[in-house]
Amino acid sequence: MSAAAPQRALVAEDDPDIGQLLARYLQKAGFTPTVVTNGRDVVPSVKRAPPDVIILDVMMPGMDGLEVCRALRVDPDTAAVPIIMLTARGEESDRIVGLELGADDYITKPFSPNEVIARVRALLRRAYRTAPAEQGIVYGPLSIDVERHLVKAHGEEVKLTAKEFLLLQYLMEHRGRVLSRDLLLSDVWGYSYTGGTRTVDVHVRRLREKVPFLADAIVTVKQFGYKLVDPPPR
């Protein structure tokens, strides 16, 4: 991502008023927005002109947002693009479904456009940050290249979403420490997150599934949070 070029935002929203409202706010915030109104157009649009972030409504015609999210996450070319889900559904079960499929954030309608912009900026700031002192982190068979946003396990690349990457990086940087869910939300998600601490549990479960080595390495501290234990000697 070039620092000089405007960041690209894809808004997938079937309500033209909401789509254009978000596009106006994104443009005012310095983004180059593109709006699509049919779910079937999202994946081709992402492949044609990869955005820096996707704002994806769940209730889309043609192909709903959950199916779009799933399709983006299984494709290696689009698996790491940050996704913020939009929906009128506020129940926790609906939020969890989106997070399970790989969404990085979740906003329920009605919302403030300024809140959306703040969430987008927070997500991108953490998704593309670099570590000035330590750009490479090693933990057992895992290695993270922070600058290139690359994770390898036993020498093989592992595709992680933006939030999965940042959560893993945070755990590796704070290995051996017991980390509360609230602390992880604050430091990884980067703002007062309203989606609930279950969000952390979903992302930890996805890390354990994608990197089996972490199944035992990330220890659940009952009713509190998680700890990445020291790796066994090699």
Mean pLDDT in consecutive groups of 10 residues from the start of the chain, 234 residues: 70 94 94 96 94 94 93 88 84 74 86 90 71 68 85 90 90 91 83 67 93 92 90 60
pTM for this one?
Answer: 0.69
Domain boundary among 92, 127, 162: 127
Can you give the pLDDT at residue 1?
43
> CATH number for the domain including 141?
1.10.10.10
Nearest to 166 by CA among 205, 127, 194: 127
Same domain flag for 118 and 222 = no
At 133 the pLDDT is 43
Please indicate, yes or no, if residue 233 is contained in any of the structural domains.
no
Map tokens 């592992």 to a residue.
Answer: 158
For residue 162, being part of any structural domain is answered with yes
* Three-state helix/strand/coil letters over 76-121: CCCCCCCEEEEECCCCHHHHHHHHHCCCCEEEECCCCHHHHHHHHH
